[in-house]
A and B are shown apart, each in its own frame.
Chain A
């Protein structure tokens, strides 16, 4: 069993060498990594040849991307180049859009999430999502965090689980005395942390974040960024961000999407920002185009 797993892992590692589609050869794994991540990280989510269409328009072309476990992977690029679309493919939230069509393969823990026998609702119970604009329910703080637990029938020790989630989301101290007050009374940053607490309460394996701090002020943003780094110890975090500096600060690996839905380069964050392979990526990072 273990050998088989190792074999699969090695294959996956080999694949990462050829991840970069437009620039051949190098790239892949670096040997120096400040965050101390192991060279051969397990891949938890991987896409192969993924094409996504909205009606006639193609939003993503041929995406091959292997997202490692327990790390923060950032996806950057100008607006409209498909980062959010890719993110929403992972937990099949794109199913909610009628005209969206997905071709190719996207695996989670080795299983293609677009297989016929996969129940998207069950899938979404293993993968959490945090959205760009905080969207707490118009219920109490307690009920917000409890919603996922109740939905998934994980109601034992609910108080303890909720407390734990709020602590992990660095919100417990601020709200512990007002759990029954409406969540809409919180500030924007607090609401977003509440949404994070809500997502992690059900113990997902992966947390997807779609520009989680773009609607927040700088102080709230930095709190969220600290939070993300801590979350990566327990969960896999995939974050879409507009803010390149943010990606440089908090992520272990970065994927760069450019116009037309193309994944141009995927590598360790340091490499991408200091010495990218692709000229286009370098132009984007140095701000030659937006």
Chain B
């Protein structure tokens, strides 16, 4: 009959419900803003204090990047970052040599050969590798690995009559090994994800053409997943660059001595392999280690050494950020390759 008064009231009961919805929405948005603030904070702090460092009359850009001596407190004071870069390079290169092949092979095994049961056992165990605190790894290097390596070197020298240098208490080799072990899970986990995303139809095509599993894995799956694999490599290296405590404990606080270079073919600087190897047997402080040392000795602010902390930190931040961005770009590229 009459529909008057029967029209449903579709307007919400505003009042309390609106208040509640808005409160939650803005509270949560506020949380998200915090992450932006963090980045702003990092960049701000680094740039401001690094600028103060470079503004000081005692320091120039040129000297920072080319001086071959880093000594913030001992006379003659010099703030050359080059030895620290060399130390970082040594440890990172060594760690990459350990982690990248092992990580990639592990990823191939997990993705192509392992049964479901094996995977479910191995993957968590690999995650444990990543979960051990870095200071523990440094301790392992200092206390177990260096002596063990020295025993091995002594044995090899005795048996083969070679002249491999014995490792000092703090040395770059143990640091490289231990950082390498630490980043294996990063390489293996991300590479395995990339390889598992390769569509099975590609493998089927390979098998249909009479290829063995070895061939399919190495010539079809790995090349197809190469972007993800490359991205994992870069991320792992970036992590190794930023690694601090393991290197402090294992490689000590003295930056490596820059080896003498000779010119090959008149133009290219060339370091004798023997000298390079010798670098690994001695202390190899990295950028991160130098930062720790400065922090431990002087944190009151104001002094040049304190400010150099931020300059080094800024360099480190820029390097790792660039690598992470590159790694992301490479990884995103592979999403389109199958479509």
Do A and B touch (CB < 8 Å)? yes
Q: Do B205 and A122 touch across chains, with their CB atoms under 8 A apart?
A: no
0/1 per residue, A119-131, Cβ < 8 Å to B? 0011111101101
0/1 per residue, B225-263, Cβ < 8 Å to A? 000000000000000000000000000000000000000
Q: Out of B204, B215, B337, which one reaches A135, CB within 8 Å? A: B204
Known: A151-B219, A184-B337, A195-B205. A137 touches B224 (CB 8 A): yes
List which B157-193 residues lie within 8 A (CB) of chain A: none
Known: A131-B204, A151-B215. A138 touches B223 (CB 8 A): yes
Q: Which residues of A contact B209 (CB under 8 A)?
A: 124-125, 128-129, 147-148, 151-152, 198-199, 202
Q: Do B215 and A128 touch across chains, with their CB atoms under 8 A apart?
A: no
Interchain CA distance A91-B209 in the complex, whole Å: 10
Q: Do B201 and A93 touch across chains, with their CB atoms under 8 A apart?
A: no
Interchain CA distance A199-B207 in the complex, whole Å: 11
Interchain CA distance A124-B207 in the complex, whole Å: 7
Most buried by A among B208, B211, B223: B208
Q: Do A138 and B337 touch across chains, with their CB atoms under 8 A apart?
A: yes
Interchain CA distance A139-B223 in the complex, whole Å: 9
Query: A190 → chain B, closest Cβ, in Å?
Result: 15
What would be 8 A-B contacts, judged by CB atoms less than 8 Å apart?
A121-B210, A123-B210, A128-B208, A131-B204, A137-B202, A137-B220, A147-B220, A151-B219
Known: A147-B219, A151-B219, A184-B337. A135 touches B210 (CB 8 A): no
Interchain CA distance A202-B223 in the complex, whole Å: 22
Interchain CA distance A12-B201 in the complex, whole Å: 36
Q: Do B207 and A135 touch across chains, with their CB atoms under 8 A apart?
A: no
Q: Which residues of A contact B204 (CB under 8 A)?
A: 93, 96, 131, 135
Q: Do B208 and A91 touch across chains, with their CB atoms under 8 A apart?
A: yes
Number of A residues, CB within 8 Å of B:
28
A residues near B, CB below 8 A? 91, 93, 96, 121-126, 128-129, 131, 133, 135-139, 147-148, 150-152, 184, 195, 198-199, 202
Q: Do B211 and A96 touch across chains, with their CB atoms under 8 A apart?
A: no
Known: A93-B204, A131-B201. A138 touches B224 (CB 8 A): yes
Query: A150 → chain B, closest Cβ, in Å?
Result: 8
User: Is B3 part of the binding interface, using a Cβ–Cβ cutoff of 8 Å?
Assistant: no
Interchain CA distance A131-B202 in the complex, whole Å: 10
Q: Which residues of B contact A123 (CB under 8 A)?
A: 210
Q: Which residues of A contact B224 (CB under 8 A)?
A: 137-138
User: Is B7 part of the binding interface, using a Cβ–Cβ cutoff of 8 Å?
Assistant: no
Q: How large is the interface on B (under 10, 10 to 19, 20 to 34, 35 or more residues)?
A: 20 to 34
Q: Do A121 and B337 touch across chains, with their CB atoms under 8 A apart?
A: no
Interchain CA distance A264-B199 in the complex, whole Å: 35
Interchain CA distance A122-B209 in the complex, whole Å: 10
Q: Which residues of B contact A137 (CB under 8 A)?
A: 202, 205-206, 220, 223-224
Interchain CA distance A136-B219 in the complex, whole Å: 13
Interchain CA distance A148-B211 in the complex, whole Å: 8
Q: Out of B202, B205, B207, B210, which one reaches A152, CB within 8 Å? A: B210
Query: B236 → chain A, closest Cβ, in Å?
Result: 24
CB nearest neighbor in B for A182: B337
Interchain CA distance A195-B204 in the complex, whole Å: 12
Q: Do B211 and A121 touch across chains, with their CB atoms under 8 A apart?
A: yes
Q: Which residues of A contact B202 (CB under 8 A)?
A: 135, 137-138
Q: Do B205 and A135 touch across chains, with their CB atoms under 8 A apart?
A: yes
Q: Which residues of B contact A148 (CB under 8 A)?
A: 209-211
CB nearest neighbor in A for B201: A135
Q: Which residues of A contact B219 (CB under 8 A)?
A: 147, 150-151
Known: A147-B209, A148-B210. A138 touches B201 (CB 8 A): no
Q: Which residues of A contact B210 (CB under 8 A)?
A: 121-126, 148, 151-152, 202
Q: Which residues of B contact A202 (CB under 8 A)?
A: 209-210
Interchain CA distance A56-B339 in the complex, whole Å: 36
List which B33-50 residues lie within 8 A (CB) of chain A: none
User: Is B212 part of the binding interface, using a Cβ–Cβ cutoff of 8 Å?
Assistant: yes
Query: A139 → chain B, closest Cβ, in Å?
Result: 7
Q: Which residues of A contact B206 (CB under 8 A)?
A: 137, 147, 151
Q: Do A129 and B211 touch across chains, with their CB atoms under 8 A apart?
A: no
Query: B199 → chain A, closest Cβ, in Å?
Result: 8
Known: A133-B201, A138-B338, A184-B337. A93 touches B208 (CB 8 A): yes
Q: Which residues of A contact B205 (CB under 8 A)?
A: 129, 131, 135-137, 195, 198
